[in-house]
Structure 1
Amino acid sequence: MNHNTPLPQAAAARPLRHLSEVQRRVLTTAQLRSHGVSPAEMNEQCRSGGPWQQLLPGVYLLHPGPPTSEERLHAVLLYAAREVTASGVPAQPEPGQSHRPVYREAMITGLAALTLHGFTSAPPLLSLDRIDVLVPRLRRLRSTGCAHVLRAAPLPAPEEATGVPVAPVPRALTDAVSQLTDAGAVRRLLSEAVRGGHCEPAAIVRELNNAKLLSRPHVVDAVDSLLAEGRAIAEDRLYTMVREFGLPDPVWNVDLRLPGGPHLGGLDAYWPEQAVAVELDTRAPRQDEDALWSEYARKREHLERLGITVVYITPKKLRDGMEQQAAVVRTALMASGDRDPAAYVVVLPR
């Protein structure tokens, strides 16, 4: 609320100093009533040409003119969230802490959430006609105005961006992709999620699969590009791990075969003298995940019967714990001297 549009005098008994600036400008019916504003006064303030306006059912903007992006976000959350107290006013923070709104069972998702996460390929907030908001599946709430209601069971744990609860990137991406038909836009968003380090491809594909979006051709094409790009990034991190943590140089991207025998499988890195192998686990969680994991397990068991130690590393572990993964590989290399010699295998470029 700016200085030109104060609350009516009746509200003076409940000061607003504990509220943030945006909370003073965007209030619910319950919050206004807790400050002494009657429904008749609300209607009077929102008359044509009046100082207030009703943005959404039960949500008021306490100044004339278009709302800012921040005001729209908080209005949508106020509309969708369950009240945090009987009066609708969030509890006062501890002394010395900044007050932030608390929104129960509601979070921004879709393109608006991606913008808040910092995606450059997502549109500016003011250009969005609707803001997606995620609520529990059984909530009886309809989309209206700039609030577009989406549902989930269960709700993901929200993250915070610019003081606003937002869906995690994989969920926000899925909610955005579900409404996009532009293949280029879908590909750019998915690519930025991985290139920008927001999440790994597997997490994205899992959410898309759960939402049954992998039957859409333009989504499948974007996912195929995403997986290829994700593997290239993971391979680059693996090179970096070996170099920066002083591991001996392996042979890269090889196939193993028994002499005159069958193909044993491809590996991302192999140390022949120590019979230690590293394979990046870049499986995408699709319908055939169990079958693919069985193939991984069969290959690993076969190689280990031949005396070859196989270390599986996920892209997420490489991103978040490269030093720890380097220690795992180093331990396997050092332990090779305590094992029986491995069977002789033929190493071929892949």
Structure 2
Amino acid sequence: MTEPAADTGWAIIDSMRRGEWGHRLEDLYGVSRSGIIRTAELRQWGVSNSAIDARCRPGGPWQRILPGVVMLGNGHPTARQRAVAAIVLSGQNAVLTGRAALHEYGYGTSYSGDAHVLIATHRRVQSTGFVLVERTTRLPVPVTRNGLPCAPLPRALLDAARRCRTLDSTRSLIAEVIQRGEVSVAELIAELDSGSGRGAALPRTVLREVSADIHSVSEAEARRLWLRSGLPRMVFNRKIVDADRQFIAMPDGWIDDVAFAWDIDSLDWHLAPKAYKSTVERRTRMQNHGIIVLPTLPSAVRDDPDRVIADLRSHYQLASSRPRPEVRMLRAPG
């Protein structure tokens, strides 16, 4: 909570305690957190119950955002204000987790504004409104993000992933965080193994895919098509080098016996349209070294799988019909 400046702070506090808060609304906001404050604190600063009730009536300048929690404004609460309100409601040692915590870490997940909070098992706070309160024997040591106590990134991510309803949404969520390199697959697997089995099936499937170098929703769907195609073994996201061990590319899929590369366009994974230029340059390098390349749009993988399987088979036959170029696949790390 923001404190008043040292030289004037006590005078402000004393005046508000004498019931003069109506002349110092900006100071009242200053002792709140992003405009969020408990009704008990308002009473401490001299605001009577009747004044709180009057200001929180429909059309009034304030609103009761949660039981015992007031927002000093009448607009729609921001994601930040909802997160603060959840922590204020949940009290001492509460920890923000899930998508609300990911939002504080700076991830652009599809955050609805609902807040998931962890508390110790002996606490009696209940879920209400947009706040999901979860009691846990594994209350993490919080990481302070923007002044809020947040679960460490692996815990926050998996708490969000456990509540995903589809495999694709779970993949997208986990891929977004792993891509930045701020958490490893090993850390996520360790966190998943140490927690409850509830909701763990989808994240565990995705982590197995990522361990096998499947990096996106489209690539995971593509792997299923390759399995249906009946073609020889395909590996994913392996580095390809020339005869002098100079790097050529790292295609999404690779059949080594005929030097056949499969490239899945996926701007969601590469994160920026400028990646298209590097994609074109990568394919040109592969073709210059004699590699047969099949480019495929994610929409085709999703909407026209039979045609994609036919393309895979025809390009494999084309690759089989010419001498294999002098290129090598490097082993996966570890």
Normalised by the shorter chain, which TM-score bucket?
Answer: 0.5 to 0.7
Map residues 69-218 of structure 1 onto 2, 5 A cutoff: 69-82=79-92, 105-120=93-108, 122-124=109-111, 127-128=112-113, 130-213=114-197, 217-218=201-202
Q: How many residues align?
A: 207
Cα contact 1:111–1:132 (8 A) shared by 2: yes
**1:26-105 correspondence runs (5 A):** 26-82=36-92, 105=93
Q: Please give the per-residue CA displacement for 1:105-150, whole angstroms capped at 9, x wherever unaligned.
A: 1121101111221223x114xx33x211111122111000111112
Partner deviation per Cα, 1:24-45 (whole Å, 9 max, x = no partner):
6211012101110122221122
**Structure-2 separation of matches of 1:75 and 1:227:** 38
AA matched with 2:21: A
Q: Distance in 1 between matches of 2:20 and 2:135?
A: 36
Which is further off, 53-62 or 35-44?
Answer: 35-44
The alignment-based identity, stated in percent, is 30
Q: Deviations over 1:283-308 (max 9, x none)?
A: xxxxxxxxxxxxxxxxxxxxxxxxxx
**Alpha-carbon distance between aligned partners in 2 of 1:164 and 1:24, rounded to the nearest angstrom:** 11
Whether the 8 Å CA contact 2:162–2:200 is kept in 1: the answer is no
Amino acid at match of 2:48: S
Question: Structure 2: which 5+ runs fail to align?
Answer: 1-15, 216-234, 240-330
* Cα distance in 2 between the residues matched to 1:43 and 1:13: 14
- Partner AA of 1:12 in structure 2: W
Local SS of the residue matching 1:229: coil
In structure 2, distance between residues paired with 1:161 and 1:67: 19
Q: Which amino acid in the other structure matches residue 128 of structure 2? A: T
- Aligned-pair distance for 1:8? 11
Q: Report the residue type matching 1:209 in the other structure.
A: D
> Distance between the aligned counterparts of 1:140 and 1:184, measured in 2?
35
Q: Deviation at 1:57?
A: 0.8
Could you tell me whether the CA contact under 8 Å between 2:17 and 2:45 is conserved in 1? no
Larger displacement relative to structure 2 (32-41 or 14-23): 14-23
Q: Secondary structure at the match of 1:133?
A: strand
Counterpart in the other structure of 2:10: none
Measure the CA separation in 2 of the matches of 1:163 and 1:18: 19
Deviates more, 1:212-221 or 1:132-141: 212-221
SS at match of 2:83: helix
**CA distance in 2 between partners of 1:151 and 1:13 (Å):** 39
Which protein has the bigger helix share?
2
**Equivalent position amino acid for 2:85 in 1:** A
- For the aligned residue pairs, the C-alpha RMSD in angstroms reads 3.5
- Which residue in the other structure is 2:320 paired with? none
Equivalence for 1:251: none
Show the counterpart of 2:291.
none
1:226 pairs with 2:214:
no
Out of 3, 6, 10, the position equivalent to 2:19 is 10
Q: In 2 relative to 1, CA 75–169 (structure 1 residues): closer, same or farther, beyond 3 Å?
A: same
The alignment's TM-score, normalised by the length of structure 1, stands at: 0.52
3-state DSSP of counterpart to 1:67 = coil
Deviation at 1:166, TM superposition (A): 1.2
Counterpart residue identity of residue 62, structure 2:
W
